Amino acid sequence: MPLTKELINDALSGVSHPEGGDLVSRNCILNIAICSTDASVRICYTQGNPDQKQPDRNTLSNMGKFIEQLIRATAKSEGVENLGLIIDFVDHAGQVVLKLKSDTPQNKDHAKPTEQPPQGTPQNSAAAGVPGVKHIIAVGAGKGGVGKSTVAINLAIGLARKGHAVGVLDGDIYGPSLPTMLGLGALDQAVIESTLQPFLVHGIKSITMGKLVDPEKPLIWRGPMAHGAFHQLIERTQWGELDYLIVDLPPGTGDVPLTLAQSVKLTGAVIVCTPQKVAQDDAVRASKMFESLGVDVLGVVENMSYFIGDDGKEYDIFGKGGAQKMAQRLALPFLGSIPINTALRQNMDNGNPPKNFDPKTAGGNQLPAALEQLTDQLIAQVTLASMNKNNQAPTLSIS
């Protein structure tokens, strides 16, 4: 039999709560996720009572070891010998107090705290926002070629179609994509009183290094130069009032993502990944980078998820569902999947992304439906993240 959430939940009912009762009866189990031979559990000891004192790290660590033993015993009884396990202890606001992670029971120790960022590393919570901008969302990926810029721009268009004021910052200093994907080729960059004026096309504002340099000249810059250029794009652009600013990051975990996370207050980050294993490995690293910098990962997007042939059959070219399984393993929200679509490529190459939302110009309804779902899921995750940061709980009114 497969390991199930119900079996893990039953096992956790055997863990006593410091204030009496057990973790399950006191609603301390916030989330249980299972994917094949991996599982994750999120626990809040102060659930329902924010005034209750949080156990210290040593106490939580000891509890975590006991919880691990119970879950492993349950998994073993179901034939799962090598269980990958993550246990997150969070406070009432949803912030992780202690993360315990172990890959297999053959590890030298039981679950142990994950490595913390070096002391002195600036955390995103201490960064400042951008005047007039409500939510800043980074779109990143562990590797290039996964369609990160495509996802960033279509998210921006999707948000604008729902009535939001949206801007896009092309943070890919070395390989800017916005000039092509937004059709900015014939437009000139305007500067008023040393302030960059964003382009307004397709209902969104945008700024890109691609309109400030020769489009055919490579930018052969060291890290500090890229760092400085990115700062200029952030600080010298007159965005005005925006509901969302989408930042398209370069791939990897280098200078620009680090600069953004340390200098600009982010609502969260979106990780883009294709289904195959090599892309997942790099996406995990990107997720861990944001986590170590105190940036919420709002969710994972699976791009190039599948292809629909002329015969109507669905072809999983890269192995559909890999990114979704990765998200489940890391206990991250899965925002949705985007199919491989000829119309999508044509519309982006022609600089007309709104056509991706019209079935007549998007090769059918699958792509528009996928992009609408992606946008709705992102808005939902932003709302949850904002409530957590404001220490608010959702309420239900019945009339």
Length, in residues, of the chain: 399
| φ, ψ (nearest 5 deg) of residue 59 | -65, -45
| Closest to 304 measured CA to CA, from 286, 320, 283 | 320
**The pLDDT value given to residue 325:** 86
Distance CA 33, CA 214 (A): 48
pLDDT at 60: 81
Name the token pair of 124: 């995103």
Does the pTM surpass 0.75? The reply is no
The predicted structure's pLDDT at residue 110: 43
Domain ranges of the chain: 5-113, 124-389
Residue 197 pLDDT = 93
Residues of the chain where predicted confidence (pLDDT) is lower than 50? 104-121, 392-394, 399
SS3 84: strand
- Alpha carbon distance 256, 230 (integer Å): 7
Beta strands in 65-189 (DSSP E): 84-90, 96-102, 112-113, 133-140, 166-170
CATH code for the domain defined by 124-389: 3.40.50.300
Helix, strand or coil, per DSSP, at residue 101: strand
Across the strands, what pairs with 139? 248, 270
Closest-CA residue to 280 (of 141, 145, 172, 86): 141
> What pLDDT shows up at residue 379?
94
Query: How confident is the model at residue 127, as a pLDDT?
Result: 61
- Model pLDDT for residues 108-158, shown as the tens digit of each residue: 344 444 444 444 445 565 566 788 999 999 998 877 788 899 999 999 999
What is the assigned CATH class of domain 5-113?
Answer: alpha beta
77 residue type, one letter: S
Q: What is the predicted pLDDT for the residue at 12? A: 86
